[in-house]
């Protein structure tokens, strides 16, 4: 039966989506957080948007640093990503607590997650207040990706299982047998 609601309790209906591990550094402080509200916004110039709550430390760091990285991890690395989302960088140094490698960016000082199969280096282009979140619009200046995991720009789901978020700490990944290319 179809239900009609005026006010949602949770905005989970549009899931699943990949999870973006968003990282930023300002002065000596760096942090990373898992974000499910993210999307590309423009191809030329390449723009990427992440919507973060002002409560988050990463929000503050991006405000100051005017840059961030967006990283995508394998389903096998879910524990690390999920753990990063369950604690605050105000209480612990997440990079010490969760053994994820960091690489230096080419154009930004914010950490690039070494284990990520794809990462975007973003310069903050705009910040748009949207209700209880802020959409940070980043200009992608550098892309890192595992060459073997992509074919014609597309993720090789026969080799790579992405992390997909369903809401309330539930995750899932893809079924390769269902992969279809339509004309």
Task: Return the number of the residue (48 or 68) whose C-beta is nearest its own copies.
Answer: 48
Under rule CB under 8 A, which residues in 82-111 are in contact with its own copies?
82, 106
Task: Return the number of the residue (29 or 149) whose C-beta is nearest its own copies.
Answer: 149
Paired with 48 in beta bridges are 40, 138
Under rule CB under 8 A, which residues in 47-66 are in contact with its own copies?
47-49, 51
Single out the residue of 89, 23, 86 nearest to residue 56, CA to CA.
89
Q: Does residue 173 interact with its own copies by CB under 8 A?
A: yes
Under rule CB under 8 A, which residues in 107-136 are in contact with its own copies?
118, 120, 126, 128, 130-133, 135
Task: Return the number of the residue (63 or 171) whose C-beta is nearest its own copies.
Answer: 171
Q: How many residues bind its own copies (CB under 8 A)?
A: 85
- State the CB neighbour count (10 A cutoff) for residue 30: 21
Q: Specify the stretch interacting with its own copies by CB under 8 A; choose among 26-34, 59-67, 87-95, 171-179.
A: 171-179
Q: Does residue 6 interact with its own copies by CB under 8 A?
A: yes
Q: Does residue 168 interact with its own copies by CB under 8 A?
A: yes
CB of 148 to its own copies, least distance (A): 7
Half-sphere exposure for 150 (CA within 13 Å, toward CB): 12
What is the phi-psi region of residue 64: left when phi exceeds 0, alpha when psi lies from -120 to 50, beta otherwise? Answer: alpha
Task: Return the number of the residue (29 or 46) whose C-beta is nearest its own copies.
Answer: 46
Is residue 180 exposed (0-12), middle (13-18) or buried (19+ Cβ within 10 Å)? exposed
Q: Does residue 45 interact with its own copies by CB under 8 A?
A: yes
- State the CB neighbour count (10 A cutoff) for residue 153: 6
C-alpha 183/C-alpha 179 separation (Å) is 13
C-alpha 27/C-alpha 65 separation (Å) is 8
CB of 64 to its own copies, least distance (A): 22
Q: Which of 25, 39, 96, 159 is in the footprint of its own copies by CB under 8 A? A: 39
Half-sphere exposure for 114 (CA within 13 Å, toward CB): 8
């Amino acid at each position: 039966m179809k239900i009609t609601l005026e006010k949602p309790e949770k905005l989970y209906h549009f899931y699943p989506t990949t999870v973006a591990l968003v990282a930023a550094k300002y002065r000596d402080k760096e942090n990373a957080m898992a974000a499910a509200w993210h999307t590309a916004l423009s191809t030329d110039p390449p723009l990427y948007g992440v919507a973060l709550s002002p409560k988050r430390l990463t929000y503050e760091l991006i405000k100051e640093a005017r840059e961030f990285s967006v990283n995508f991890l394998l389903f096998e690395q879910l524990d690390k990503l999920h753990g990063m989302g369950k604690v605050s960088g105000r209480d612990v140094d997440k990079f010490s607590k969760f053994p994820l490698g960091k690489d230096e960016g080419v154009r930004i000082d914010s950490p690039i997650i070494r284990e990520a199969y794809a990462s975007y280096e973003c310069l903050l282009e705009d910040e748009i207040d949207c209700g209880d979140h802020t959409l940070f619009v980043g200009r992608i200046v550098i892309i890192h990706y595992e060459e073997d995991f992509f074919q014609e720009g597309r993720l090789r789901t026969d080799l790579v299982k992405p992390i997909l978020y369903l809401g309330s700490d539930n995750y899932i990944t893809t079924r390769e047998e269902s992969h279809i290319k339509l004309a």
